[in-house]
Amino acid sequence: MSHHPLLRQLQQQRPLALIEDWPVLTGDLRWPGTRVHVMGGLSALQLGPAARNLFGGREAAHRICRAALKS
């Protein structure tokens, strides 16, 4: 995560727990304390190894969509 300038800046403003440089997100893939959701490799701690493939993208989209509809 530290190689992404935007996420590095977000980490400075809204620190969150990291496990080996991977963010610990909420169940809906949100950066805690913000309205920022992430997908792909950054969601691997929540979605597992599928986070980087089509199944993971679909699961991430469903979680984010459900969260967006609630707000």
| CA 57 – CA 61 distance, rounded (Å) | 6
> H helices then E strands: how many in the chain?
3, 2
pLDDT digits (tens, 9 = 90+) for 6-46: 888 999 999 999 998 889 999 999 999 999 999 999 999 99
pLDDT of residue 1: 64
Domain positions in the chain are 5-70
CB neighbourhood size of 26 (10 A): 14
pLDDT of residue 34: 93
pLDDT of residue 56: 97
pLDDT digits (tens, 9 = 90+) for 44-55: 999 999 999 999
pTM of the model: 0.86
